[in-house]
Structure 1
Amino acid sequence: MATYASLLSLGHILDHFLQHPPRQIDVLDKAQIDSLLENLTFLRDFLEDFSLIRGDVIQALEEKIARSAYAAEDIIESRVVDLILGNAEAGSERSGIFSYFNIFLKKVTLPFVYSSSTLFYQDLQKVIEEIISLKEDVMKIKETEGIKIMEQPRKAATASSFVRGASDSKNTMVGFDEDLNQIMETLTGDESNLQILPIVGMGGIGKTTLAKNVFDNPLIVCHFDLQAWVTISQQYSVHEILLGLLKEIGGEEITQKNDDELGLCLHRSLFDRRYFIVMDDMWSIEVWDAMKRFLPDNNNGSRVLVTTRLSNVADNFFSCTPHQLHLLDEDQSWALFCDKVFGKESCCPPELEEVGKTIVRNCGGLPLAIVAISGLLAKSSRTVEYWEHVADDTHAALNKGGDGLCFGILSLSYKHLPVHLKPCFLYMAIFPEDFEIRVSRLVKLWVAEGILKPMSSRSLEQIAEDNLKDLIDRNLIQVHDYGSRNKIKTCTFHDLLRDLCLREAQKEKFFLVNGLDNQSKIIDNKRRLIMQRSSDEKLCRQQVFDARNFASCTRSLICWELESTSIKLPVCFRLLRVLNMDDFYSCEEILQLVNLRYIYFDASSNPNLLNPLESLSLLWNLQTIIIAGTLCGSVTPTNLPAEIWEMPQLRHLKMEQGDFYLPDPPSTNSKNGRRDIIVMKNLQTLCTIRNFRCTDEVVHRMPNLKKLGITYWRFPGGFGWDHYEVYNLSNLRNLESLIFGSYENVLRNLCFPQSLKKLTLENCRVPWEDLTVVGLLPHLEVLNLMDKAVKGREWNPVEGEFPELKSLKIFSTDLVEWTADSSHFPRLEKLILGYLEFLKEIPEGIGEIPTLRSILLVFCSDSVYSSAEKIQEEQLELGNYEFQVRINGADRKKYSVGLLAQSTWKKLLNFH
């Protein structure tokens, strides 16, 4: 929720002031910070405890809390911006460091630079007093209304609310035949002990429908002595669940009994009988923990079927493997649609088929949406004009059809979220429809937005990854692709859930998606502004003009696919924290965004945008810099300024195509006669650095670096420095991922950090025998040997090397003979070979590795393809049907094993 996010955001700001205040700026005193933090923590705890309570009193209070938190942010950050810009202007008169910035300052008006400190402290104190007053209001609510609401018993929707109908169930089972057969096989199998089978999937995917068809199946009815169905739901009562089950199975007469007495009655009724119970819509494992002692294991094949949206609940039964339901494909979706609209005996008229399939595609394979929209169309005019109207805005039609049943069911997942996950979930809707979201980028955005609840034992990035995993476990986010270390690389977001998020975000004023194709101009006081591409450039200009006039409090400006280079960034975004654009701004405009935490831009069309790097120290709060694209074909690295060593907040600095020169850190920085060296404890990513000088001082300054990209180029007269300093890399003790490029072999006698989990070597020309230094790394999981990284005709790895290696990629080498078996790569899962025209074959022993799942081949010799086919045949004979050999599209006609589309190969070959 937006209110909780506002408290987290303000808390992060105050923590930054305590840990790393802006240099030479005195904004807050310790007493003010302590007072704010104490009251924010109290309000945050209240929202966590009362997150499921909704009412006019609570809602009005939340709005007041959000307004006060935003006001405190605006007052504090406005003052910081004023002072930093004012000091920069004054300092530029004495030094040439900010000369470019000084020229710009003279062109604009900064009305708040010289504002009164007295007024600032008065305004801030007023907000503090408002927050204290809100705390008192909360205490009154907790003492009266809150306690009453929290103590209300939770009621269950029991079996009486479930209406079974076999005839209807057959109509709704389109696309689930295979799932039905698998579940029936498990339920009627030979296992005699009591088994619990969870069906798990997102809301509306058909879990209850499938369970209903299983429950009514004649084979199930005949197989079990007793059957019972109970719906749990979010608000449940164990007492009501027990009563419902007893009523279903016709148990002994019920009188006034407590839970234990009812449970004993149920146990007696089920004892020595083969029973089948469906527990539908379970939201918490605590329900099962309370119920399982009343369900006897009669050792006769009794079964419990559970449906849930939560994968972590399903995993906690420790019985059968959870049955995961997936979205319907296009054919299944169309079949379900036609069945519901036209019935079994009728077909879709030809004139409606094209628009009908468009409507179905808009449902994204979600059975609930397809059934809902089908019900609407089945009762409406069957004309092309009306169906095209529905196709133009299917989501709006879904929200109206069936009294909004579709979105009502989906919204239960949002309402059930813990309050600390709600801002993260809402934030997912900033991405366009059908967008493949890179997890690494999403994590950085969450951190920069300040919407993560901090934990003392974990970094913000780790907390973000935990939150994403939780959303995935709740089937609100889908994993799209895994990286080489089996970490989630990309994820996707169902369009209907995105639409739900947009509605909630608009209601809570969390962000505004300014589609640029609509006429929305309500931008005033929106903390986050999302702009999307428009084909109407005139409208695009108008929307940006509106932003110039109204969005003075905007903290995030995220633009997707805006292509008009004539549109400039509005100057009024002076408090901006997150800037995600391409080439819509100038160097001058960036220089005054001193509050930035995250910046992403494309340098392809405007290399001058890198000029702000010369004044990085102005951006005192900067956490992430991501530069996409190349500098108009330039291969000359960009010089990072010396001020880079004075940015303790910096977490990630990455140029996606190109590299930097990193200056040596200053040996001392005298302040008040004392040695003042800033240790960049937050720095985790640094890519890519040309001729990286890994001195003792550099190692000391970045102790928590996790990902490093470096390249080494020799100048005509040598490196110009002692390049043996590269051997100091082993002292980066927290480094997990290293990309190492060099045009000569500098790896001889090199010691890598023992912490490395992923290593990419490029152009190093290392003899195969020298890879021993890599093979002995105890935690290495991924090794990529790219573009002549190694040289030589033979590779004979030593037994005992690469003990944890899971992924091995070899591209563009002169390798001919390769000897290897399971003793060399005992845990290998994926082998990728590309452009190996001289390699005779894949070693037969590779096929004997028990963990191997796939071999991917790209433009290799015919003999390599043949050896891969032989390995696959052997695996099939051993019953390993999951093993795959895949080859690139260029050789499809020759070889037929596991072919991949070219688009898929592009993703597989993205080793960074």
Structure 2
Amino acid sequence: MEEQFAVTAATGALGPVLAKLTALLGDEYKLQEGTRQDIVSIKSGLEPVHDLLGKLWGREDLDVACKDLLTAARELSYDMEDNLDRFITLGLERGETTFIQRETLDIPFKEFMESVKGVSERCREVQMTGEAIICKRHKLTTDPRARFLHKDASELVGMEENKKELIKLLQEHKMVCIFGVAGMGKTTLAELVYHTIGDQFQCRAFVSVNPSPNMMEILSTIRSQVTNGASTAGSVTEPADQENIIDNISLSLSDKRYLAIIDDIWHWEEWEVIRKALPNNNLGCKIIMTTRIKTIAEKCQTEQGTHVYRQSFSYEDAERLSHMTLTKCVQEDILEANAKGLSAQIAYTCGTAARGSSSCPLAVICLSSAWAQTHVQRDYLEWDTWDDWVSKVLLDRFLSTASLKPLVQSLSLGFDDLPVDLKTCLLYCSMYPWDYHRIERDCLVTKWIVEGFVWQEEVAQASFDKLVSRDLLQPVLENKYRVHPMMLAFLVCKAKEDNLVACMRYNSSSHAKQMIRRLSFYCMDRYPHEDVSHTRSLAFHGYHPQLDDVSFNKFKNLRVLEFDSCGGLENRHLVDICGMFGLRHLVLNQQITELPREIGRLQNLETLAVKSSSISKLPREIEKLQNLKSLNISDTSITELQREVVKLQHLETLNISNTKVTELAKEIGKLQHLKTLNISNTKVMELPREIGELQHLETLNISSTNVRELQREVVKLQHLETLNISNTKVTELAKEIWKLQHLKTLNVSNTKVMELPREIGELQHLETLNISNTNVSELPREIGKLQHLRTINIRMIKVRELYLEWEVPHSLTVIFGSMDTALEQKVRLGVSPAWKNSIISSSGAKCREDISTVVLIKYFHKRCEVVNIPMHRLAGRHMNVPEWVKQDLSYVSSLDIRLWKLGEDDHEFLKQMPNLQALQLKFEVLPREPIAITGGGFSKLETFYVDCRLPRAITFSRGAMPMLRHLEFKFYTGTTRQHNSMGITHLRSLEKMVFRCSEYYTGDSPGISATIDVVRKEAAAHPNEITLWVNDMKPEVFGGSAKWISQADRAIIQKETEERERMHKQRMRLYRAAEKRAERDKQEQRKSENSLLSSVPVVGYGTVDRARLEEIEEPN
């Protein structure tokens, strides 16, 4: 089906209905003539309705009649599609392979006729009476940003430093692009700079662009400003010609020093038009452009003389701004009494939870104002916690709360600029819980396809990328994303308004006026009594103790069913679930131990995921799922890939990673539609030769297996795009690898591969090459021919030269180094006329002696240039940070240094390093006082490694290291002294902690145990989910997971914690008892010796008492 027939928030399922009606009129369906005439009539009635709904949806100026028409038409479309699917399915079942209309077959078309006729008549009425509404161009009457411009200086929290930094960048670059999400303060910052330095220019212009701009108006505004109104858009004598206005502006500015600020560029084409009017006259002109679109910022990055400035707003500034806003609206004593830590909570909610995210000042102001407003109006007992307020106000009345209106308008700008298919995909994300950080790309894309929002995976993947480029989906971890909490609140209310999705939290009621089509439950112990027979998607998140109350057999039209980390689901629930014949997407969770034989009844199932469950085998009936496209049994106890699996002829994705599977059956070659095969972290030792028969395979992952040889048949996989053989025993890459002409990613890291074949240079589509920690010592020059190479990882190998032969502007990330932890040095090379400016290098002689380098050789036909890139590991031991380091390495992104002492000046230098992402500090001497890491500084640090005698060398205060994700300590001794807090809870982006101690002081030693206990308590109190490693012990998970569980789960965790503490205390008692027993044995031995030798003859002393003998120094 074509994309125009997709399900959308605007037209509901009208698109698929029209497509299916058209198909039913084809020759393959043997329909009676009367039925065919009914279908033709219905189809002709629905086509104008489909067109009208697309024009009406999303407009704010609709009357009641238009809104009712939208609702009625969408509801009808869903009912029609459900009935059509049943009609087609039953017809095929009774007619075997051919659809035959039987007399006993229920005919739904007569019932549709009247409903379609009514909707069609209402459609004609709206077209006749509402032509002006339909044709009128939607235009904002006011700029939602205007309210926040021209703020009093006292209200511009955190902007002064940003302003200074931006002015400094303008001194070094002709143009600066300010990039940031909606409400980040881009416009405010640009205006501050505009008024601060504007007098230094002969003429200036400031113009804001909306998502659908009239370029004639924009250009006319610029012309009016730079000419002081000498020529305006309203001049009757001038022709309304775009090129004419561009020429006028360019001529006026040709001999003047100008400042131009172009605010909020949405599309690159618009910027190219405006740029034509801004001449490069070498008079020191400056341009500031702001955008929220990532792809535009990336394009700017490649332009000569342009710097991209990522607008940020720190956690501390957000908290201060929130408190300032709250105190204006609520008395201080009331604020303190009723909202302890509220400012911190608001600052956290407004964006600091995810990696790379910073707070949004507009959101902080609006959220603080909204809380204050509802606080004044509400009954104090209506909500007791912040979570209650989020559920009952933010996620229920986000669009209608007056104080949130500026934020809603700002978010609407980005939302309204999306095409309807992207809007629908984004609205579907409201199915996920509040502040959810684990949206999996592949899972979401699959659900979009199952829901009918898109029909092809390539289109779905491209849609996902577009949402990421606009920061509407934000990366958190590898393949994990989130929606910003403010955008999610916006989407939840929007989706509810259009009856696309209904979200229920903590036993809230849906209050649905229409039938619920998509339903998301979060931590419920009772469920609504509404009619659920029309529900298409159902998701359970968090703990659900009363799943027995859910009548799964009533969900007759369910297509998507997902249990995400859902406590309460048991094997016995699956039998009813297997009666949902229309189910296409099923995700189960870790509590399942067995799939029932009834699973074979799900004939329409396309996705089955039982990852992280406790199942040990699949039922034989799995072979009946002939429509299954994706099977995920990763992280289970399965030991064998059963023969029934290879009978699934439509299977496209097979994931058996992290299982106990030891062998791939030869029959794997029969899966002719397979596109992705993941057998990583299994016990497979050999790939069958039949793997070469998988001609549609695009991704092959055999990492962390016992495979010793890459079969020659692999090079027959003509459509392979990703090949991952990392952490295997493979020693050689075949020369025939050049045959993989579609290969984009090649990962051979952590293998014994000794050389890369020269033929690798023929992989013209290769984008990522990872050969880290291999035995490769030289890179073939042919790598320089890879025009599309974007990332090469040569970490922990001896390569010293990398040859580049690009003839076009190009960027490359080189990851290199030899490090004990997961530190990576990323260098951005812009191969353009200014390519050398973006290289981090050093000219100090000492620096070159102490730091190893990789030599990059860039060829310009017969001429070449060499650039040194520092590795940033300082050799030797240093009393303090050397001066040459401060001079030559202040802009590096990683630093490994061994110090005797870290003085205040050195500490401040490290804090202010603007690009520092990874830091290793090794102390030769234990500091007298712990080094206090405070807020302000280390703005980009993500990895921090401390090597010291005791872990108490470092403490963290509020706001410290805001982007830190990985914290690691290595220490050599322990102490039983009082262990104070380290301040782990202040590291708001922390995800992983590692403690490595000397083998002589195990985790059971009193000093070490006390230290680890302190860390455990702080990790448990952290809002994030923290993974803790102690030496090589099994990792423990603390913190953020508590947000997703109920009281019952907390009781289980509490019980486990108490049991762990009890075992620890028991070990301590045994430890002390053993010490006392050893001391008692020594004393008894001494007594025995004393009884035998009560006195000893000693030359020169006569006979002395044994006790006295021990006090006499032994003669030399």
Q: Name the TM-score, length of structure 1 as normaliser.
A: 0.73
Counterpart residue number, 1:370: 364
Q: Is contact 1:368–1:406 with CA below 8 Å preserved after alignment?
A: yes
Counterpart residue number, 2:693: 731
Counterpart residue number, 2:892: 881
Structure-2 change in CA distance of 1:612 and 1:758 (3 Å): farther
| Secondary structure class of the residue paired with 1:517 | coil
Q: 1:622 aligns with which of 605, 608, 613?
A: 605
Counterpart residue number, 2:561: 579
Partner amino acid, structure 2, of 1:59: K
Structure-2 change in CA distance of 1:594 and 1:12 (3 Å): farther
Supply the distance in 2 between the matched residues of 1:236 and 1:853 (Cα, whole angstroms). Answer: 41
Supply the distance in 1 between the matched residues of 2:503 and 2:375 (Cα, whole angstroms). Answer: 33
Q: Is contact 2:370–2:404 with CA below 8 Å preserved after alignment?
A: no
Moved more, 593-602 or 440-449: 440-449
Q: CA deviation at 1:590?
A: 2.2
Taking only the aligned residue pairs, the percentage that are identical comes to 18
Supply the distance in 1 between the matched residues of 2:919 and 2:158 (Cα, whole angstroms). Answer: 28
Supply the distance in 2 between the matched residues of 1:403 and 1:159 (Cα, whole angstroms). Answer: 11
The correspondence of residues 20-99 of structure 1 with structure 2, limited to 5 A, is 43-51=49-57, 53-54=59-60, 55-56=62-63, 57-79=65-87
Structure-2 change in CA distance of 1:14 and 1:628 (3 Å): farther
The correspondence of residues 138-287 of structure 1 with structure 2, limited to 5 A, is 138=123, 145-146=130-131, 149-150=134-135, 165=150, 168=151, 170-177=153-160, 179-189=162-172, 191=174, 195=175, 197-217=176-196, 220-234=197-211, 236-242=213-219, 244-249=221-226, 250-252=228-230, 254=232, 255-256=235-236, 257-260=238-241, 266-267=249-250, 269-285=252-268, 287=270
Partner amino acid, structure 2, of 1:500: F
Q: 2:465 aligns with which of 457, 469, 490?
A: 469
Structure-2 change in CA distance of 1:278 and 1:764 (3 Å): closer
| Secondary structure class of the residue paired with 1:69 | helix
Counterpart residue number, 2:447: 445
Supply the distance in 1 between the matched residues of 2:317 and 2:345 (Cα, whole angstroms). Answer: 14
Counterpart residue number, 1:337: 322
Supply the distance in 1 between the matched residues of 2:267 and 2:585 (Cα, whole angstroms). Answer: 37
The correspondence of residues 626-705 of structure 1 with structure 2, limited to 5 A, is 626-631=609-614, 634=616, 637-641=617-621, 643-644=623-624, 647=626, 649-658=627-636, 659=638, 661-663=641-643, 680=650, 683-685=652-654, 687=656, 691-695=663-667, 699=669, 701-705=671-675
| Secondary structure class of the residue paired with 1:703 | coil
Tell me the C-alpha RMSD between the 2 structures.
5.2
Q: Is contact 1:556–1:576 with CA below 8 Å preserved after alignment?
A: yes
Counterpart residue number, 2:714: 751
Supply the distance in 2 between the matched residues of 1:376 and 1:706 (Cα, whole angstroms). Answer: 48
Structure-2 change in CA distance of 1:579 and 1:507 (3 Å): same
Moved more, 499-508 or 134-143: 134-143
Structure-2 change in CA distance of 1:551 and 1:267 (3 Å): same
Counterpart residue number, 1:560: 541
Q: Is contact 2:734–2:757 with CA below 8 Å preserved after alignment?
A: no
| Secondary structure class of the residue paired with 1:557 | strand
Larger relative contact order (Cα-Cα within 8 Å, sequence gap ≥ 6):
1
Supply the distance in 2 between the matched residues of 1:666 and 1:284 (Cα, whole angstroms). Answer: 47
Supply the distance in 2 between the matched residues of 1:555 and 1:187 (Cα, whole angstroms). Answer: 54
Supply the distance in 1 between the matched residues of 2:260 and 2:267 (Cα, whole angstroms). Answer: 17
Moved more, 509-518 or 346-355: 346-355
Structure-2 change in CA distance of 1:694 and 1:300 (3 Å): farther
Q: Is contact 2:592–2:613 with CA below 8 Å preserved after alignment?
A: no
Counterpart residue number, 1:527: 517
Structure-2 change in CA distance of 1:149 and 1:520 (3 Å): closer
The correspondence of residues 766-785 of structure 1 with structure 2, limited to 5 A, is 766=730, 768-769=731-732, 779=743, 781-783=745-747
Q: CA deviation at 1:558?
A: 0.3
Residue segments in structure 1 that go unaligned for 5+ positions in a row: 89-114, 455-459, 483-488, 535-539, 668-677, 834-840, 861-866
Structure-2 change in CA distance of 1:449 and 1:755 (3 Å): same
| Secondary structure class of the residue paired with 1:638 | coil
Q: CA deviation at 1:579?
A: 0.7
Counterpart residue number, 2:996: none
Q: Is contact 1:84–1:594 with CA below 8 Å preserved after alignment?
A: no
Supply the distance in 2 between the matched residues of 1:899 and 1:236 (Cα, whole angstroms). Answer: 41
Q: Name the TM-score, length of structure 2 as normaliser.
A: 0.61
Q: 2:288 aligns with which of 298, 305, 320?
A: 305
Q: CA deviation at 1:262?
A: 6.1
Supply the distance in 1 between the matched residues of 2:376 and 2:575 (Cα, whole angstroms). Answer: 57
Q: Is contact 1:81–1:575 with CA below 8 Å preserved after alignment?
A: no
Supply the distance in 1 between the matched residues of 2:669 and 2:368 (Cα, whole angstroms). Answer: 63
Counterpart residue number, 2:106: 120
Supply the distance in 1 between the matched residues of 2:475 and 2:251 (Cα, whole angstroms). Answer: 44
Q: CA deviation at 1:301?
A: 3.4
- Listed one character per residue, the Cα deviations across residues 533-589 of structure 1 (whole Å, up to 9, x for unaligned) are 14xxxxx1x31xx35x62111111100023427636412012211111252562321
Structure-2 change in CA distance of 1:138 and 1:747 (3 Å): same
Supply the distance in 2 between the matched residues of 1:11 and 1:86 (Cα, whole angstroms). Answer: 24
| Secondary structure class of the residue paired with 1:393 | helix
Supply the distance in 2 between the matched residues of 1:285 and 1:6 (Cα, whole angstroms). Answer: 33
Supply the distance in 2 between the matched residues of 1:464 and 1:237 (Cα, whole angstroms). Answer: 31
The correspondence of residues 313-392 of structure 1 with structure 2, limited to 5 A, is 319=303, 321=306, 323=308, 325-326=310-311, 328-340=313-325, 354-364=341-351, 365-374=359-368, 391=386
Supply the distance in 2 between the matched residues of 1:214 and 1:280 (Cα, whole angstroms). Answer: 13
Q: Is contact 1:2–1:423 with CA below 8 Å preserved after alignment?
A: yes
Q: Does 1:7 align with 2:14?
A: yes
Counterpart residue number, 1:435: 436
Partner amino acid, structure 1, of 2:364: I
Q: CA deviation at 1:627?
A: 0.8
| Secondary structure class of the residue paired with 1:233 | coil
Supply the distance in 2 between the matched residues of 1:553 and 1:178 (Cα, whole angstroms). Answer: 55
| Secondary structure class of the residue paired with 2:554 | coil
Supply the distance in 2 between the matched residues of 1:380 and 1:530 (Cα, whole angstroms). Answer: 26
Counterpart residue number, 2:1086: none
The correspondence of residues 583-594 of structure 1 with structure 2, limited to 5 A, is 583-584=569-570, 586-594=573-581
Supply the distance in 2 between the matched residues of 1:807 and 1:160 (Cα, whole angstroms). Answer: 44
- Listed one character per residue, the Cα deviations across residues 615-674 of structure 1 (whole Å, up to 9, x for unaligned) are 1xx323211111122436x4xx43554744x62x4321111224453437999xxxxxxx
Supply the distance in 1 between the matched residues of 2:463 and 2:425 (Cα, whole angstroms). Answer: 8
Q: Is contact 1:780–1:802 with CA below 8 Å preserved after alignment?
A: no
